[in-house]
Amino acid sequence: MFQGQLALKAYPIIALFGLRKLLCSMKSHYQLLRCYNMFIDKNNALDSLKENVSKFLYPIKMGGNVDINAYKQLLLTLDEITRVFKHEDLIPKRLLSEICLTAEGVSSESHNIKKYDLNSMAEEIESKFNLLLSGKTPEDVKPVIGRIV
Contact of 7 with 15, CB cutoff 8 Å: yes
Q: What is the pLDDT of residues 90-149, one digit of tens each?
A: 999 999 999 999 999 999 888 877 778 888 999 999 999 999 999 998 888 777 776 676
- pLDDT value at residue 98: 95
Q: Is the pLDDT of residue 3 over 60?
A: no
**Domain-by-domain residue ranges, the chain?**
1-36, 40-134
Instruction: Read off the pLDDT band of 16 (50, 70, 90).
Output: very low
- pLDDT value at residue 22: 46
CA 10 to the chain's CA centroid: 33
- pLDDT value at residue 31: 54
- pLDDT value at residue 73: 94
Q: What is the pLDDT of residues 43-70, one digit of tens each?
A: 999 999 999 999 999 988 888 788 899 9
* Residue 90 DSSP label: -
Q: Is the pLDDT of residue 4 over 80?
A: no
- pLDDT value at residue 72: 94
* Sequence-separated contacts (24+) of 80-84 with Cβ below 8 Å: 80/34, 80/37, 80/38, 80/40, 81/40, 81/45, 81/48, 81/49, 81/128, 81/132, 82/128, 82/131, 82/132, 82/136, 82/137, 82/138, 83/137, 84/40, 84/41, 84/42, 84/45
- pLDDT value at residue 147: 64
